[in-house]
């Protein structure tokens, strides 16, 4: 059994998740956080791609090559092409060993390949690049790499390209994260609760509505996926059937309901500040038995009695 | 005492004849917690009944990596200390004296306090920084004194704190070269020291001195490549968490370092305020940036009280003052 057949003979559900993540191609963005790290899922996807016979390139900026290759068998390790940008990414040692142009140059160089073999590029991580490069530069490079196979013209013989990127969500603002996620065909956000990891998977298929699913999972030491049901939810506390439910509306000291007569009386009530025609008539009619009122005013000693109307000069 | 896979080795020291009648068989021993944390840094203790707060005796043996016994990669570890609303410098003092006692070559970039401060605290914890410096075990960069030198005196060669002189200092390369020079192995035949350790107290002050968060992250990246990967040593750095103060650069620095570190120790003040008997709580988060963990409960929280020569730890709500 070749390794690729062996991979396909695994449990159906496990393959579904990894397959669905790798099936669309393009950019697969893994968003992780400090508490729920995503590098193990990235390595699981890398292992899956390698077992399926694809050419796998790894642009490693954040961890050393030994640490990344740790946990893979030798046959998988032989299929991985590792570009090491961990040791001297900024060329401080001035030895020019590093790839000229750094990780971005290597990414751009992948655009120029012409062989028809499907290739997977694992970018570890776009966060590292995003902190040091303008967002637009990185987005343009990622778009160019991940959309090679959809370009018309003589590049139609180029095989499918899948770019796996591990993005650390807390390091960037919503703008850059949103820009990268809009470029992604598949987006996996990692979270979890109570010791169980959860993946929210958002797939954007062309000409279809984006699909959203969640999956509880855990990754085994050999970087294969183990799908799970999720943490058990505690059952709701049930009410005791022997105690009848109590009606809170009994024994009230106020009236919750109105009788018919009370309702009619309430509806016919005129509100004091509502100006109706009756009120107008009542005001216009002189009230019987009331003489005009007088106001008696005794001015104080310091009072300033000015007979002029201060509003006289207003030209209304 | 059974080892639970993937969670390190708790309960190393069992307290006998506890005055409070509590037996921490499966929890951290009262003063052995920080020693236990250091056990995860590949050191072991000779005798379990030694109630040595500061960990192992000088003769140590390299221990297999506790988290994945099958791993062949035995690189160094980065431990991130952060404090929020409290002072986490007791962790720095602990790690300094711990590594000196473990016969490691220590490079200490001390930007916050003077040498005499660390020396006085070190004496209480049982190490003499002066003697360690004299015999070459400790390379101490005293930030406060060097800053005055670099600003007021002309330097012939680049000084580690050269960025203080330059208006647009882009990077911390001179500081990294100082660290690399200090910890590079001397080919003098037999190895006197076990493995190198870099201690930085603290990184947030570099932000205040005008460096960008990315420049500090680059410095730590290069230190990690040299100290942890090339020289198989350990690193311990302290960063302050600004909490509500909304310091974006500090948040980038803290989150960026959290993603790179293997162990995060977070000292927090109590949510209810200052207390005389409980000085704060310590959250411990083990991370393996590239290894999957089968059991995910890798986070613990303990409350602590700092005493004159030690720190006592207890589970939440179990302070001796309230029991």
Chain B touched by A43 (CB under 8 Å): yes
Using an 8 Å CB-CB cutoff, list chain B residues near A67. 73, 75, 229, 289-290
Are the C-beta atoms of B95 and B200 separated by less than 8 Å? no
Query: How does residue B57 score in pLDDT terms, banded at 50, 70 and 90?
Result: very low
Residue B12 pLDDT > 70, yes or no? no
Mean pLDDT, residues B273-294 taken together:
79
**Closest residue to A34, CB basis, from B71, B259, B290:** B259
Asked whether residue A276 is domain-assigned, the answer is no
Asked whether residue A269 is domain-assigned, the answer is no
Asked whether residue A245 is domain-assigned, the answer is no
The domain tally of chain A equals 1
**Tokens, residue A197:** 């990891």
CA atoms within 13 A on the CB side of A261: 0
* A148 CB-near residues (< 8 Å, 6+ apart): A111, A155, A158, A161
Asked whether residue A3 is domain-assigned, the answer is no
CATH number at residue A29: 3.40.50.300
Mutation target for B interface from A33, A45, A66, A166: give the one with most B CBs within 10 A: A66
Choice between B19 and A316, residue whose per-residue pLDDT is larger? A316
Residue A236 pLDDT > 60, yes or no? no
Highest average pLDDT, of A70-79, B116-125, B311-320, comes from B116-125
Query: How does residue A1 score in pLDDT terms, banded at 50, 70 and 90?
Result: very low
Residue B35 pLDDT > 60, yes or no? no
Q: What is the pTM of this model?
A: 0.73
Minimum mean pLDDT range among A166-180, B24-38, B102-116: B24-38
Minimum mean pLDDT range among B62-71, B115-124, B208-217, B275-284: B62-71
Query: What tens digit of pLDDT does each residue of B59-84 get?
Result: 222 222 222 222 334 668 899 999 99
Looking at residue A289, what is its pLDDT? 56
Minimum mean pLDDT range among A107-111, B104-108, B177-181: A107-111
Contact criterion met (CB < 8 Å) for B292 and A223: yes
Are the C-beta atoms of B290 and A60 separated by less than 8 Å? no
Asked whether residue A252 is domain-assigned, the answer is no
CA dist A71 and A77 (Å) reads 9
- Average pLDDT score, chain B: 75
Dihedral over alpha carbons B152, B157, B160, B165 (to 10 degrees): 40
How far off is chain A from B73, nearest CA to CA, in Å?
7
Mutation target for B interface from A62, A225, A230: give the one with most B CBs within 10 A: A62
Looking at residue B89, what is its pLDDT? 92
Q: Which domain holds residue A26?
A: 12-228
Query: What tens digit of pLDDT does each residue of A110-124 get?
Result: 877 767 788 889 998
Asked whether residue A104 is domain-assigned, the answer is yes
**Closest residue to A43, CB basis, from B260, B285, B290:** B290
Chain B touched by A31 (CB under 8 Å): no
Respond yes or no on whether ipTM tops 0.90. Answer: no
How far off is chain B from A71, nearest CA to CA, in Å?
7
How far off is chain A from B276, nearest CA to CA, in Å?
31
Are the C-beta atoms of B213 and B252 separated by less than 8 Å? yes
Are the C-beta atoms of A209 and A11 separated by less than 8 Å? no
DSSP label at B58? S
- Average pLDDT score, chain A: 80
Asked whether residue A103 is domain-assigned, the answer is yes
Which run of H or of E encompasses B116?
Answer: helix B115-125
Looking at residue B28, what is its pLDDT? 36
Asked whether residue A36 is domain-assigned, the answer is yes
Minimum mean pLDDT range among A28-42, A77-91, A100-114, A159-173: A100-114
């Amino acid at each position: 059994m070749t390794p690729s057949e062996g991979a396909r003979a695994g449990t159906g559900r496990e393959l579904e998740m990894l397959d669905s993540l790798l099936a669309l191609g393009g950019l697969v963005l893994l968003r992780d956080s400090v508490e729920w790290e995503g590098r193990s899922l990235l390595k699981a996807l890398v292992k899956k791609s390698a077992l399926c016979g694809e050419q796998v390139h790894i642009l490693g900026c954040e961890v050393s090559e030994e640490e990344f290759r740790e946990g893979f068998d030798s046959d998988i390790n032989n299929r991985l092409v590792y570009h090491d940008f961990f040791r001297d990414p900024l060329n401080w040692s001035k030895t020019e060993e590093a790839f000229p142009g750094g990780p971005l140059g290597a990414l751009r160089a992948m655009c120029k390949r012409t062989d028809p073999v499907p290739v997977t590029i694992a970018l570890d991580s776009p966060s590292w690049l995003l902190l040091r490069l303008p967002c637009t530069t990185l987005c343009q490079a990622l778009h160019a790499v991940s959309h090679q196979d959809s370009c018309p013209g003589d590049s139609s013989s180029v095989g499918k390209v899948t770019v796996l990127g591990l993005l650390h969500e807390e390091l960037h603002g919503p703008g850059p994260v949103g820009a990268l996620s809009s470029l992604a065909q598949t987006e996996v956000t990692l979270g979890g609760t109570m010791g169980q990891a959860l993946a929210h998977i958002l797939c954007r298929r062309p000409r279809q509505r984006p699909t959203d699913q969640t999956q509880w999972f855990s990754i085994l030491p050999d970087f294969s996926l183990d799908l799970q049901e999720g943490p058990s939810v505690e059952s709701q506390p049930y009410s005791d059937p022997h105690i009848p439910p109590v009606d809170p509306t009994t024994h009230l000291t106020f009236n919750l309901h109105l009788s018919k007569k009370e309702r009619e009386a309430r509806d016919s009530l005129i509100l004091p500040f509502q100006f109706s025609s009756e009120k107008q008539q009542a005001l216009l009619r002189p009230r019987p038995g009331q003489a005009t009122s007088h106001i008696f005013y005794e001015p104080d000693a310091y009072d300033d009695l000015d007979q002029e109307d201060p509003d006289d000069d207003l030209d209304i | 005492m059974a080892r639970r896979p993937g969670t390190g080795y708790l309960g190393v020291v069992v307290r006998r004849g506890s005055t409070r009648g509590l037996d921490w068989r499966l929890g951290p021993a009262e003063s052995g917690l920080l020693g236990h944390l250091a056990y995860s840094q590949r050191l072991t203790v000779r005798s379990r009944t030694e109630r040595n707060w500061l960990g192992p005796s000088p003769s140590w043996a390299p221990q297999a990596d506790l988290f994945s016994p099958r791993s062949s990669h035995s690189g160094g570890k980065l431990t991130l200390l952060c404090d929020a609303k409290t002072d986490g410098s007791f962790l720095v003092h602990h790690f300094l004296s711990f590594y000196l006692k473990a016969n490691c070559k220590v490079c200490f970039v001390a930007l916050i306090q003077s040498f005499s401060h660390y020396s006085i605290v070190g004496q209480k914890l049982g190490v003499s920084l002066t003697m360690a410096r004299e015999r070459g075990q400790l390379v101490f960069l005293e930030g406060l004194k060097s800053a005055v030198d670099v600003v007021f005196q002309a330097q012939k060669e680049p000084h580690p704190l050269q960025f203080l002189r330059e208006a647009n200092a882009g990077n911390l390369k001179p500081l990294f070269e100082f660290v690399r020079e200090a910890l590079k192995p001397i080919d003098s035949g037999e190895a006197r020291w076990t493995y190198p350790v870099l201690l930085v107290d603290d990184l947030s002050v570099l932000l205040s001195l005008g460096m960008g968060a990315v420049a500090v992250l680059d410095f730590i990246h290069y230190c990690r490549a040299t100290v942890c990967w090339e020289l198989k040593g350990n690193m311990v750095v302290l960063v302050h968490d600004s909490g509500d103060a909304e310091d974006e650069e500090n948040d980038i620095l803290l989150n960026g370092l959290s993603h790179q570190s293997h162990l995060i120790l977070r000292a927090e003040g109590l949510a209810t305020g200052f207390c005389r008997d409980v000085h704060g709580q310590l959250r411990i988060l083990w991370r393996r940036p590239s290894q999957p963990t089968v059991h995910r409960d890798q986070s613990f929280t303990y409350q602590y009280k700092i005493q004159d020569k030690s720190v006592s730890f207890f589970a939440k709500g179990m302070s001796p003052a309230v029991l």
